[in-house]
Amino acid sequence: MKLILGLGKTGVSIARFLTKQQVAFRIADNRNAPPFLLPFKSQFNTENLFLGDWKPELLNNIDEVIISPGIAQNEAIVVLARVNNIPVISDIELFSRHANAPIIGITGSNGKSSVTQLLGEMIANDGNRVAIGGNIGKPALECLSDKIDYYVLELSSYQLDYTQNLTLLTGVVLNITPDHLDRYPSFEHYIKSKLSLYQYCQHPVINADEPLTPTLDNAKYFGMDMPKQGSDFGTVTCHGSCYILKGDDALMDADELPLIGQHNIVNVLAALALGRQIGLNTDSMMITIKTFKGLEHRIEWVTKKQNIDYYNDSKATNAIATITAIKALINQYENIVLIAGGIKKQEDYNALFALIDNHIPHVVLIGQSAKELGNNIHTAKVTYANSMEAAVNVASTLIDKGAILLSPACASFDMFDDFEQRGNVFKDIVK
């Protein structure tokens, strides 16, 4: 019998899969009212559903634990399973056992959703059937199909932590910056988690600008400098324009990209390198790039009202992501009002505070960590708001022309279910 830990989106997807496979399971969650309780009850018999504190008896007659990524490795039930030599695996490892098409894995502290979506669209536009999932969109197990040519999975460090066996045709660690340090004993443990992706890759892709990534055989490289090999991807600046290169060949002017910011150039380079590793046609990939509109909640332009452009960057849940968003906009707008705040991460925010003081005249702060953030901003004018609606309303009075950017640099769970809800609330208020 299998034990599923966690009754969220991933846990329900595991339950559905095991039911189709006619595999017996019990499912447990240490919350009394987990978010997917009602959907589960509507689809499954609740005889083997256990809520509340983990009990050792949950492991009786269990030969494998399949765990949701949100459950930490130091939870008593996880420790006890390992003490009893019961394998603890992720839904990703279970997916890999049953996938009959090549899998591409994408991870990184920032940018992984955008690269996953862009590569998926490249594969589809090259005439292949593709499924996109994992840590984005559908859970991996719900992507399984005999009609798929390629699977493109966004993989979080949490998912990689519980994966010991995974077969990837190609994969990339886009970047590594301090994040989720409430979950890891140190930054070094987080780095190890991210880099574990490469042990599963047949044909890896490496970010040449990321000093924490290794040098590997059979790898394609990408970065913002001139490519060192004819099959690698990079850029060159000439006559004031930045060009995307494959080897020595210029593929396009970066100004042709529909998305703003250097980080999106890097995302494009990563997707190109992954695409070449699986044999996609370069011309087909370039057509996709020129029409790619990006993902919701990632420096997403919402609307323009009274000479003010509104941007939703709710996915920015750490300082580096907000720094990226500000840098993407400061060359276009003289005046930017930043709406930030939520639950501050355990990371160094000093670079963000310095950037705000140098480039942002007004900041509106919300959420649990608002005061802590505000105490470290010295030049920009700081206003506090007790709701998203109040934040948008006050922000709109602070400038006559420019941009209002929601880029929180914090987790959302003090005020919202997740970053998607936070971004949608922002957009609804703006519109």
Place of tokens 């969109």: 137
Q: What angle do CA 332, 335, 341 make, to 5 degrees?
A: 105
The C-alpha atoms of residue 269 and residue 257 are separated, in whole angstroms, by: 12
Classify strands 25-29 and 402-406 as parallel, antiparallel or unpaired. unpaired
Catalytically annotated residue among 2, 30, 110, 112: 112
- How many Å separate Cα 335 from the centre of its chain? 29
180 annotated active-site: yes
Q: Which amino acid is at 417?
A: D
Q: Is the separation of the CB atoms in 106 and 168 below 8 Å?
A: no
Task: Determine which one of 110, 175, 180, 344 is catalytic.
Answer: 180
Determine the Cα–Cα distance for residues 385 and 365; give it in Å rounded to an integer.
6
Contact 135, 160 (CB under 8 A): no
How many CB atoms within 10 Å of residue 36? 18
Q: How crowded is residue 387: how many other Cβ atoms within 10 Å of its Cβ?
A: 13
- CA 265 and chain centroid, separation: 17
Residue 359 bears catalytic tag: no
The 3-class secondary structure across 296-364, one letter per residue, is: CCCCEEEEEECCEEEEECCCCCCHHHHHHHHHHHCCCCCCEEEEEECEECCCCCHHHHHHHHHHCCEEE
> Environment class of residue 92 by beta-carbon count within 10 Å: exposed (0-12), middle (13-18) or buried (19+)?
buried
Q: How many residues does the chain have?
A: 431
**Would residue 112 show up in a list of annotated catalytic residues for this protein?**
yes
> Catalytic: which of 30, 110, 135, 207?
135
Nearest to 415 by CA among 370, 381, 371, 380: 370
Q: Which two tokens stand for residue 371?
A: 């005061």
Are the C-beta atoms of residues 154 and 139 closer than 8 Å to each other? no
Q: Does an H or E element contain 65, and which?
A: strand 64-67
What region, left, alpha or beta, does residue 61 occupy, with left being phi > 0 and alpha being psi -120 to 50 degrees?
A: left
Asked whether the beta carbons of 252 and 286 are under 8 A apart, the reply is yes
- Torsion angle of the four alpha carbons 55, 59, 60, 65, in this order, in degrees rounded to the nearest 10: 150
Tokens 């991807």 — which residue?
Answer: 233
Nearest by Cα to 249 from 217, 282, 279: 282
Kindly list the catalytic residues. Answer: 112, 135, 180
